[in-house]
Chain A
Amino acid sequence: MKSSVITFPGSNCDRDMDVALKKFGFKNKMVWHDDNELPKSDLVVLPGGFSYGDYLRCGSMASKSKIMQSVINFAKSGGLVMGICNGFQILVETGLVPGVLLRNKYLEFICKNVFIKVDNKENFYFKNLDKDIFEFHIAHNEGNYFCTKDQLKEIEDNNQIAIYYCNDKGQIEDQFNPNGSIKNIAGIFNKEKNVLGMMPHPERMIDQSLSGEDGSLFFKNLINNIK
């Protein structure tokens, strides 16, 4: 299985993603933001970081970089595109997934483990996983998902909410919402479910010596689903 990770100026989880993808069997290539063409890929990942310093709205500069046109075309033709953290912010800026990511409710960067609940398993990313609640890691300043009422209705009607913040029992309540996201949303799909944007970093949960192994389950399952 072939994957591509895009490096933007200021990306800083690109190496971590490369390590994770390779660990679980992907043949991964790093792709420079200024390239025109994507290499042949089964999965494209927009990694975390601070593309262009996030000095404008997070992700907005990166969403206009050269390679993104190919990524958008790839996504529109049904290719799998996953944006993590800053990658999620870039995805909303391209319009591939709906909504926006505002600054965290308490105006502070948050780095910690959180629990998330997978809501929709009828997609390449989560199908065949044998549990619903995962412990993932977040590290962001702008992860407060927001959208209009109409958008929310549309998202819900189309089952586009991928994951919610919750507790270890899977309860989706305000007190388990780390950043103020509307409806505790931690990740969403496009309508077709081939594009996934999420704030949590599965690539930081691939080793018991680090924060845990739930990321390993995610990647192992992902590569099996793509095969």
Chain B
Amino acid sequence: MLVNEKVAIEHGLKADEYKKICELLKRTPNLTELGIFSAMWNEHCSYKSSRLHLKKLPTSGKKVIQGPGENAGVIDIEDGDAIVFKIESHNHPSFIEPYQGAATGVGGIMRDVFTMGARPIANLNSIHFGSPQHKKTKNLLRGVVHGIGGYGNCMGVPTIAGQTSFDSSYNGNILVNAMTLGLVKKNKIFYSKAAGLDKPVIYVGSKTGRDGIHGASMASASFDEKIEEKKPTVQVGDPFTEKLLLEACLELMAGDSIIAIQDMGAAGLTSSSIEMASKGNLGIEINLNKVPCRETRMSPYEIMLSESQERMLIVLENGKEEMAKKIFDKWNLDFAVIGKTTNTKNIELYFDNEKVANIPVNILVENSPMYDRKWKKAKLPKKNKIKKETYSKLKIKDVLKKILSNPNVCSKEWIWQQYDHTVMGDTIQKPGGNSGVVRVHGTNKAVAATVDSSAVYCWAHPITGGKQVVAESWRNLISVGATPLAITNCLNFGSPENEENMGEFVECVQGIGEASKYLNFPVVSGNVSFYNQTKEIGIKPTPSIGGVGLIKDYKKMVTMDFKETNNIVLIIGKTEGHIDQSLFARTILDEKNGPPPEVNLFNEKNNGESLLNLIEKDFIKSAHDVSLGGIITAISKMSIKGNKGIKLSKSKNLMNELDYLFAEDQGRYVIEVKQENLKDVVKILDKNSVHHEELGFITEKDLIINEKTKVTIDELKSYNTNWLTNFMST
């Protein structure tokens, strides 16, 4: 096929990008070369709209061993141990083919982690669906959950936490973000930087097929009514092969024969080979006839652009090929020497004894387009004036029932019971808590992880929303007694070519940056997913934040279930009665406008660190951060989990009771302390100037809100646990 501008545009390139390619090459590319450019220069791989803004994120810190730019971020957890972690999106494929889309998302992120030499020890996910009434929602949810479970369960890696939300803005574009944590020795981390000349380039893992061709390009475009036709761009996962690949790679990594290793993810062999060469400032030569193929007569173009899963590219020390091959033979995996490193600084491809591509690596990487897209600043919305008479008709119990059974608050047990969350025998806090927690095998340490997002807040005011998500992640880690260390982010947005969507992106990133800098909670890895958009309608801005923290002595871990009758329940942090954008305002009062709750970073840090201090002193029997649904929702969940009631005292606060109970002010935690420790706890909080109020005391049964309102634990449970199961079984 002759290459011209029209063909380039069909490959998703813009006319001026094509012109630039011809100028840089000083000739017209052939079709294989054009395919390589389109794979490297699409939004998904090149970050061309986001790079400029991502640079502003804080990415370093005392605990950071590796920030963004590698397969995943790495943080120090002391004693020579490190945690490798990252979150990644698989949104577009999951909408087209939910099972395989979600499954390969999980497979891809695990590969990113074990490529660096780490054994995956925990998976998390953040999944977002359209309105429950939308005709596709149920099938998409079922498919995604089966896909995540199908892959993670087979790999034998526990899925320890997650987040699920429903919002009509995801009707045409669901979100599937998968996160993995891996454990590695600090001195055994592997990177993707090639080094040395004439080193063998090895292909291992599954064979290359025709699946997933142009997957990355598909994920860099908006959807339209013909999206179902894109099914062939979705890869097909094989978790069994990945399990073998994991074991084989770790076995090879125990020695010292690997110079560089890179998994073949988006844009397959193209991006993996180019990335290794680029980082090593080398050239790479590949004989495509040597690539193990699943199908016959695959063209160089197809081989280079296939996104078949479960494959790795390795640059090996000379003379180690036989030893390495033995390991992959043992695990029944393909092993092929397909090329070598060169000093040409070009990527040179051969097929049937002909040179089929020759491109300078720096053109593909350093000269890739970068855009300073136009964006619109968002104004802080004016506060709502909600008429007080609307309140007088409302009964607390009715409101509580609606909030606890709201799809975004209700128990997600139907989902996480389908994920193996206990394999590996180290899960000490399972899904449904503040964070998932796994022990560092064979030590007293444990690692806590959480994934959060607040699309509604981000939509109402992106800077505040961005800050809030980071703060919530921080709170979820602190609530289990973990010291927050670092985050990974998955930035899901609409089209960057739309000024408003781009503005949401820029300002959410700004908010994330401010909070992570202030809280000393750096961003070590992440991924951007734009074009979550169908025709002109984009999703609500949804940055997902994956936070990781360390518990030095796992016996000090805190859970959220109420523990003991007569213990005192306090709230840390001030309740101002912020109702705008709360679940109460949006679903009960049907009021969708107004600003999100303000995030005061000083208070976040102070309140959080004070709570950690109390946990360290063993004063805290249970803790839960206050988020969606306010104080009463937090308390209800603690009651349900602990099978204990609480008698609330009359608040000294003068505000309306509904405002007090359902407000979503930030920086707050509900904590349980023993009577005899109350004095000491209050003393420490006062000393640190942390606002606190006594909420009540724990009882054998029933949530007693005031003289007129009593809710039994069974009622609470039925409000909270039935919605999702009923929804999925009808």
Contact = CB atoms under 8 A, between A and B. Distances in A.
A13 interface: yes
A15 B156 CA distance: 10
Given A13-B156, A16-B425, A209 B555 contact: yes
Nearest to B243: A10
Given A10-B154, A111-B420, A210 B425 contact: yes
A137 B243 contact: no
B425 A111 contact: no
Interface residues of B, number: 32
A207 B554 CA distance: 13
Given A52-B240, A110-B417, A12 B425 contact: no
A182 to B, nearest CB: 22
B677 interface: no
B424 A112 contact: no
A167 interface: no
Interface of B: 146, 149-150, 153-156, 238-241, 243-244, 330-332, 416-428, 439, 554-555
A209 B240 contact: no
Contacts of A53: 154, 238-241
A53 B238 CA distance: 8
B244 A111 contact: no
A210 B555 CA distance: 11
Interface in A199-226: 201, 203-204, 206-207, 209-211
Contacts of A16: 423-425
Given A52-B240, A111-B417, A203-B425, 4 more contacts: A50-B240, A53-B239, A54-B240, A110-B417
Interface of A: 9-10, 12-13, 15-16, 19-20, 34, 48-50, 52-55, 108-112, 137, 139, 141, 201, 203-204, 206-207, 209-211
A211 B422 contact: yes
Contacts of B555: 209
B423 A19 contact: no
Contacts, number: 84
Most buried by A among B243, B427, B554, B555: B243
B423 to A, nearest CB: 6
A209 B418 contact: no
B485 to A, nearest CB: 21
B422 A10 contact: no
A22 to B, nearest CB: 11
18 contacts: A9-B240, A9-B332, A20-B425, A50-B239, A53-B238, A54-B154, A54-B240, A109-B149, A109-B153, A109-B419, A111-B420, A111-B421, A139-B423, A204-B425, A209-B428, A209-B555, A210-B428, A211-B422
Closest 6 CB pairs of A and B: A12-B156, A53-B240, A16-B425, A50-B154, A139-B420, A109-B418
A13 B427 CA distance: 14
Nearest to B241: A53
Contacts of A203: 425
B422 A111 contact: yes
Contacts of B332: 9
A9 B154 CA distance: 11
B417 to A, nearest CB: 6
Contacts of B244: 9-10
Contact of A209 (B153, B424, B439): B439
